[in-house]
Structure 1
Amino acid sequence: MITINKTPGLALAAAIWLAGCGVSQSKPENTKVETATAVTAFPLGKAIFSASLRTPGELQAFQQVDLYAKVNSFVRKLNVDVGSTVQAGQVLATMEAPELGSALSGAESRLRSQEAVYLASKANYDRLYQTSLTPGTVSQNDLDMAFAKQQSDFAQKEAARAAYREIADQRNYLEIRAPFSGVISSRNVSAGAYVGPSGKGSEMPLFTLQEQKKLRLVVSVPEAYTPYLKDKSAVKFVIKSLGNREFEAIINRMAGALDARLRSQRVEMDVQNNDKLLLPGMVAEVHIPLATADSVFVVPTTAVVSSTEKIFVIRVNGNKSEWVDVKKGREAEGKTEIFGDLRDGDMLVEKANDEIRNGSAVTIKK
């Protein structure tokens, strides 16, 4: 009789085999399907972008000067007042300084005296020279001394003449004349007032003269817009105090350098003001054209996302969104100039926002 010994290891193996022969059930997996975001997109293209910069400006007199007295004197007569229209060379005020008359008389006397001394020394030299033509009559030393005396007296005469002219010129300063045609915008003295070039009487100018038939329109253009400025470009500006009336001007001068504090360039335009409707000191709203001859990428302003970290647009690439970093340029009328790693024909989301995550699924609306 044959017997089979059952060991614990065999029993365990048989149990495992019987369990494997049973029916097994698998649990269903939870799968999440990503929903694509429907967006409106447009093909990127280049265009000539023309915009204008709106910036405040100030009207200034084309020429302005403060007129002071050059010599210590008293105001004898004022010929003009605030608002007077004057011509170049016109006498605005007359001064008086009695001491100048005395000084001029003294200088004239010294000049006449030196002229007489010079004539005497010249006559003496001429006689000695004529005598010296006869050999042995006049020594060469005497002739040289006479010539030196003549030259010294001539120098003294010219010095006296210069002193006389200096005082005479000071008398001419007693008349204050207009250096150019314009309007007297301020008067700070009255008849009888003491005036002078320094010290008491010179704290304020006698008059302030402005040329107002031609004005300067001055604006400060920020650094970002300076590459688009063009000389001789037509500019429009509005004066609100005149009922938003519009005027035109031409860019005539650009500083060619940036202000160290404001980081802006000074730009000046000449404005004809024959009717004197515009006044120096008026504030204007200036529209400066910022045109360029090169084509650039131009997109709707809504297509550019400005977050705290970056500025980007969203490109649709194979049903996936792709954030592309860009830099903004000029903006005008709902359009923005952009620069970045972009190509013609790229499909960009028209109304972009940071809720459309980078790499998320998107579909373009038909």
Structure 2
Amino acid sequence: MSQDNATKPNTRLLVILGIVAAIGFGTIAVTGLMSRAHSTQALAAWTNDQAIPTVALAKLQRGATRQTLDLPGTIQAFYRAPIYARVDGYLKSWNADIGAKVQAGQVLGVIDAPDVDRQYDQAKADLAQAQANEQLAAVTAKRWNSLVTSRDVSVQAADEKQSDYIAKKAALESAQANLNRLATMQAFKQITAPFDGTVTARNTDIGALINAGAGTGQTSQLFEVSDLHKMRIYVQVPQAFAGDLHPGLKASFDIPQYAGQHFQAIYVTQSNAVDTNSRSMLVQLQADNPDGKLLANMFCEVHFELPTDPDVLRVPATALIPGNKGIEVALLGDDGKAHLKPIQLGRDFGDTVEVVAGLSMSDHVIDSPPETLVDGDVVRLAEDASSGKVAAAGDAKVN
């Protein structure tokens, strides 16, 4: 075989192999381009799908026919009288200690007041002197009036004696009044209970210096008497609920040390003024205390049963969207889009709020809407997120 014949088949084989290689490379390139285009389309679709916010629907509640309002309260004695001294001196004795049951007029303590005693003695002497002067002036005036008729004395002289009698009589009345005043002060040496009750404080002891009046330091109160047969309960009611309370409303209250026991009270009156700091109104209730379990200055929790409007809806506070236009909520429409709607709020219960206008039970309110949500945005329910379905409101269920 010649050399030319051996070379021709090899050249043909090389050409065929080159064509096959070119076709293979072309196929690989086309396949890669198609795969990249498909991946790009899938990434774009996934990105668009992730841009749709996933939301959940809020649970709407109808207002109950009755509502319980729980507020802290302070129990006070029905009557409470801090007792101060009316005379200066030293405490001679005390007859009732804290916790003692006393009756009106019962002596709680006695004050030794020597200054008042001496003033009383002087007033008695002054009264005796005034009585003697008045009697002498009366006799003198009577005699001079009888001498006028016989013209032994002038009318002027008789009138002077009559005027002196009148002055001496007035001095006698003044001395009598001063003695009566000091007799009253003498009575104040005995410290008495103003009404039937319990001694809830004793702030003095035998030999203590007593200064009259109510002030500071040594003029502080000596005793305190409280009437505990009935108690007053004071509660600060928020302004939003003040209009729902009225005299005669019954309430119950609990005390920590009597777990499981409920006490009854009745709403009596209110201050008719709202405190500017707390925006609350002070109200007073009264409760009987036949067994003496209720003590002054106790803390209690008061429960009011308030009537409510069953047509008023309550929504979670997390569904509210505050804005320049007021309070709004996002509703899921039949087109699968969010629509903002303004509402009017009622009372705030913390985790839920009342909506008095702007919503109906058939509305589908979005709970915890995204901050970037605007009117007309497409949204997806959380229950449909796994299937990638953008649900219309007609597909949602409101519990």
Same fold (TM over 0.5): yes
> C-alpha offsets along residues 114-142 of structure 1, whole Å, 9 cap, x if unaligned?
1111111122222333343x374443212
Q: How does 1:67-86 map to 2 (within 5 A)?
A: 67-86=83-102
The residue number in structure 1 matching 2:193 is: 178
The residue number in structure 1 matching 2:320 is: 306
1:182 is aligned with what amino acid?
Answer: G
Q: How does 1:1-366 map to 2 (within 5 A)?
A: 50-132=66-148, 134=149, 136-197=151-212, 202-291=218-307, 295=309, 297-302=311-316, 305-307=319-321, 309=323, 311-315=327-331, 319=335, 321-330=338-347, 336-340=353-357, 342=358, 347-350=362-365, 352-355=367-370, 357-360=374-377, 362-365=392-395
> C-alpha offsets along residues 216-275 of structure 1, whole Å, 9 cap, x if unaligned?
111111222212221211111111221142111011120100123322111111111121
Does the 8 A contact of 1:39 with 1:349 survive in 2? Answer: no
Question: Which SS does the other structure have where 1:51 is aligned?
Answer: strand
For the residues of structure 1 that align with 2:317 and 2:74, how far apart are their CA atoms?
Answer: 36
**Structure with more relative contact order (C-alpha pairs < 8 Å, separation 6 or more):** 1
For the residues of structure 1 that align with 2:61 and 2:88, how far apart are their CA atoms?
Answer: 74
**Unpaired runs of 5+ in structure 2?**
1-43, 379-391
For the residues of structure 2 that align with 1:285 and 1:57, how far apart are their CA atoms?
Answer: 6
Does the 8 A contact of 1:38 with 1:364 survive in 2? Answer: no
How far 1:358 moved relative to its partner?
A: 2.6
Whose helix proportion is higher, 1 or 2? 2
Number of aligned residue pairs: 331
How far 1:71 moved relative to its partner?
A: 1.1
For the residues of structure 2 that align with 1:255 and 1:41, how far apart are their CA atoms?
Answer: 40
TM-score (norm 1): 0.78
How far 1:80 moved relative to its partner?
A: 0.8
Is the deviation greater in 259-268 or in 347-356? 347-356
- The structure-2 alpha-carbon separation of the partners of 1:280 and 1:45, relative to structure 1 and needing over 3 Å to count, comes to closer
Root-mean-square deviation (Å): 3.4
- The structure-2 alpha-carbon separation of the partners of 1:41 and 1:75, relative to structure 1 and needing over 3 Å to count, comes to closer
> C-alpha offsets along residues 92-121 of structure 1, whole Å, 9 cap, x if unaligned?
111222333332121111101111111111
Does the 8 A contact of 1:304 with 1:313 survive in 2? Answer: no
Is the deviation greater in 348-357 or in 71-80? 348-357
Question: Which SS does the other structure have where 1:123 is aligned?
Answer: helix
Instruction: Report percent identity of matched pairs.
Output: 26
Question: Which SS does the other structure have where 2:66 is aligned?
Answer: coil
2:162 is aligned with what amino acid?
Answer: F
TM-score (norm 2): 0.72
